[in-house]
Chains A and B, each alone.
Chain A
Amino acid sequence: QKEVEQNSGPLSVPEGAIASLNCTYSDRGSQSFFWYRQYSGKSPELIMFIYSNGDKEDGRFTAQLNKASQYVSLLIRDSQPSDSATYLCAVNGYSTLTFGKGTMLLVSP
């Protein structure tokens, strides 16, 4: 049974700070890793994906992957109140994704 673990939070950070969201996974064979943002009552929105070890940056977002330790993280720099949402980590299977339960992020003005 593939598992993806996330701290449910909420993770509270002040506006302008760096938010760090973490995710661990159980299947060493996983190759693709995704971060989705989900606002309350809305559908998940893909914000980052990463396939290789190391860092991948896109604007204020940085995804970090460490396959040896089986964790993937998402850093959000200069956090804004509009970043307040639930962040879902997802890891690939053969043709499906396994989702974590998500971490709620609260950014206070």
Chain B
Amino acid sequence: DAMVIQNPRYQVTQFGKPVTLSCSQTLNHNVMYWYQQKSSQAPKLLFHYYDKDFNNEADTPDNFQSRRPNTSFCFLDIRSPGLGDAAMYLCATSRAGRLQLYEQYFGPGTRLTVT
């Protein structure tokens, strides 16, 4: 059973052409995350939603935006992709309480190519 679903799995876009990546979850987790991962590097957190609260990492470029219209869905918008934005984009979800963060589950990722 798919728990964290990402679409599309592969995305090719042109330099400067906006692109949207989507993530959905069936786990009813209250926290959703977007990571960027480049080859041989650790996942880099871009931002996350804790319930409806948006939390942006300090070094996430303004070019990256996110929307979470409801508990199940979250979107990553890249307004003007550059060649350096080519990467694997990972969505993850977690259940978090006031005092504890539980396991985080990743989707299969979207491989973004910028031409």
| Chain A contact residues, CB within 8 Å of chain B | 31-32, 34, 36, 41-46, 49, 51, 88, 90, 92-97, 99-102
Closest Cβ of chain A to B22, distance in Å, is: 15
Knowing A95-B101, A101-B42 touch, does A43 contact B33 (C-beta < 8 A)?
no
Closest Cβ of chain A to B5, distance in Å, is: 12
CA distance A34 to B31 in the complex (A): 17
B43 within 8 A of A: yes
18 pairs from A and B in contact (CB 8 Å cutoff): A32-B102, A34-B104, A36-B106, A41-B111, A42-B109, A43-B88, A43-B106, A43-B108, A44-B43, A44-B90, A51-B100, A88-B42, A90-B104, A93-B101, A95-B48, A96-B55, A100-B42, A102-B42
Interface size counted on chain B using CB atoms at 8 A = 24
Does B42 contact A95, Cβ atoms closer than 8 Å?
no
User: B109: which A residues are within 8 A, CB to CB?
Assistant: 42-43
Cβ-closest chain B residue relative to A86: B40
Q: Which of B64-115 contact A (CB under 8 A)?
A: 88, 90, 94, 96, 100-109, 111
B19 within 8 A of A: no
Q: Which of B37-76 contact A (CB under 8 A)?
A: 41-43, 45, 48, 50, 55
CA distance A36 to B31 in the complex (A): 18
Does B55 contact A95, Cβ atoms closer than 8 Å?
yes
User: B101: which A residues are within 8 A, CB to CB?
Assistant: 32, 92-97
Cβ-closest chain B residue relative to A104: B40
Top 8 nearest A-B pairs (CB, nearest first) are: A92-B101, A43-B106, A99-B42, A43-B109, A101-B42, A95-B96, A95-B50, A44-B106
